[in-house]
Homo-oligomer: A and B are copies of this chain.
Amino acid sequence: MAKQKKAPRPKAQTPKGFRDYFGAEVTQRTEMLHAIAGVYHRYGFEALESAAVETVEALGKFLPDVDRPNEGVFAWQEFDEKDNGDWMALRYDLTAPLARVYAQHRNDLPTPYRRFAMGPVWRNEKPGPGRYRQFYQCDADTVGTASMAADAEICMMLSDTLETVGIPRGDYLVRINNRKVLNGVLEAMGLPEGDGARDNVLRTIDKFDKVGEAGVRELLTKGRLDASGAYIDGVGLSDEQAAPVLAFLTSKATDTAGTLANLRAAVGDSKVGAEGIAELEQIGEFLTAGGYGPDRIEIDPSVVRGLGYYTGPVYEAELTFEILDDKGRKRQFGSVAGGGRYDDLVKRFTGQEVPATGVSIGVDRLLAALREKGRITAEPKGPVVVTVMDKKRMADYQEMVAELRNAGIRAEVYLGNPKNFGNQLKYADKRNSPIAIIEGGDEKEQGVVQIKDLILGAKIAESATLEEWKERPSQFQVPRDQLVAKVREILDGQDQ
């Protein structure tokens, strides 16, 4: 008989560009999504959960070429006897599925339709450091109304959301701009829609965040040396021509009325420009009526993210506190959410224009911000660990752990090999356990248990003098029937 070749063992590896999330990483994100969903719900938004999979036809943006799908999405062909199956793909955002769902179910959905969606999306991109091919999005959109009240509402909701998840007022700002005002400026400059220079101007102002006013002026005119020493060609406008764009970007005044007056000057006679300003004015009015002052939401024409993509109001939430970057330099934390108005949501499917406006929150960035500020602990408390001093008395330990759990206390019994007690304490340490329970034969006989405050114990081990150590014991002996009460007392003390 020929020798059978053994199959090699498979590699245990997360696929490239994906990652595993453990413990608090998962529960903290879940808690945050839960809190955000609560605010969205209060605003009348309805949850929508579509499948991870869509037909490539419905997703639209990415189409498979002859026999290999575009790299932007993860796609495959449905099995079909005639090799003629549909191409399917994992969704790359939550907006494309919303478009499909709204087009498909529009007769059953209320109009306007306020919906929120949260979940992973997938991008078939080259993975890089900190850049994953699966990540969470958390969107809210209002479909089917052109009313500025919808845009204002989403900005107020965004403000409430940030405060609800733990960003206090003063540490964030929702800023609003309007694409139509920019269009008006371009029109006033003699660059009507369809003019090639217009796209160049749009691309250039997108760099305003990075290069500032002087940089944009250079890029709009003669060009600019970038930090690496490379020369970036300019759009070729004269200084005079570039001036209105810069006036637009820097038109923010100390109050909304002042900002709007500056914008009016910048758009001149442009009709679309005036329309955009009226929209901002309306939004401002609704914000005031809702009680949301400029300490939370403000009109700020320097917001440029998304101006090229959206068709009307554009909004962004920024965290304004400073953090230290990789090189120890202070910088603002920056944007954690953005959105705006877009009018072609379902046109691909139905031919009709349906106005919509919506926001997407970067959940992982928001979590990072809260961790940065120490508002959520990276390593939260583990369970109370009931140690096993005598394998034969496992039932006794089961009784203790059930008592603790029934009292709402997170607890577990040690289930590894109990022979080596040191291993049990090492386990408790790895679990970030606040308390260990010990009941050996002597204790059992005397009807008592030992309760070890592991957090205090660690502190004492680190820094205490002998006197302190004597004064503040970290291990207590209590009657067995006071187990739950004493554990609760220690836990409460640790939380203070």
Q: Footprint of B on A, CB under 8 Å?
A: 9-16, 18-27, 30, 34, 37, 41-44, 46-55, 57-58, 60, 68-69, 71, 74-76, 78-79, 86, 88, 90, 99-101, 103-105, 110-112, 114, 120, 122, 124, 133-134, 142, 144-145, 147, 149-150, 152-153, 156, 160, 282, 285-286, 288-292, 346, 348-351, 382-383, 394-399, 401-402, 405-406, 408-413, 415-416, 427, 430-431
Contacts and interface: CB of A to CB of B under 8 A. Distances in A.
Given A20-B49, A149-B413, A350 B12 contact: yes
A303 to B, nearest CB: 22
18 contacts: A9-B351, A10-B58, A10-B349, A13-B55, A20-B48, A20-B101, A20-B105, A21-B49, A26-B48, A41-B410, A42-B410, A44-B431, A52-B122, A74-B76, A111-B416, A160-B405, A285-B395, A288-B395
Contacts of A153: 398, 413, 415
- Identical subunits present: 2
Contacts of A120: 51-52
A421 to B, nearest CB: 15
B289 A14 contact: no
Looking at chain A's contact residues, the main secondary structure is mixed
A479 B402 CA distance: 55
Contact of A19 (B23, B47, B51, B290): B51
B394 A110 contact: no
Contacts of A409: 42
B349 A9 contact: yes
Given A114-B412, A134-B52, A410-B42, A58 B398 contact: no
Given A20-B105, A286-B394, A415-B150, A27 B41 contact: yes
Contact of A402 (B30, B150, B156, B395): B156
B412 A43 contact: yes
Contacts of A79: 68, 71, 124
B9 A350 contact: yes
Contacts of A74: 53, 76, 88
Contacts of A399: 289-291
A50 B90 CA distance: 16
B60 A10 contact: yes
A395 to B, nearest CB: 4
Most buried by B among A22, A114, A152: A22
Nearest to A402: B290
A424 to B, nearest CB: 11
Contacts of A346: 12
Contacts of A112: 415-416
A133 B79 CA distance: 14
B10 A22 contact: no
A487 to B, nearest CB: 14
A57 B10 contact: yes
Given A15-B53, A74-B76, A398-B290, A27 B9 contact: no
A85 to B, nearest CB: 10
Given A30-B34, A30-B37, A52-B134, 11 more contacts: A12-B99, A15-B55, A23-B46, A26-B47, A27-B41, A30-B47, A44-B411, A53-B122, A75-B76, A285-B395, A290-B399
A118 to B, nearest CB: 9
Contacts of A144: 416
Contacts of A147: 394, 415
Contact of A395 (B20, B47, B99, B289): B289
Contacts of A430: 110
A109 to B, nearest CB: 8
Contacts of A285: 395
A265 to B, nearest CB: 26
A88 B43 contact: no
Nearest to A395: B289
Given A58-B11, A149-B394, A416-B145, A22 B47 contact: yes
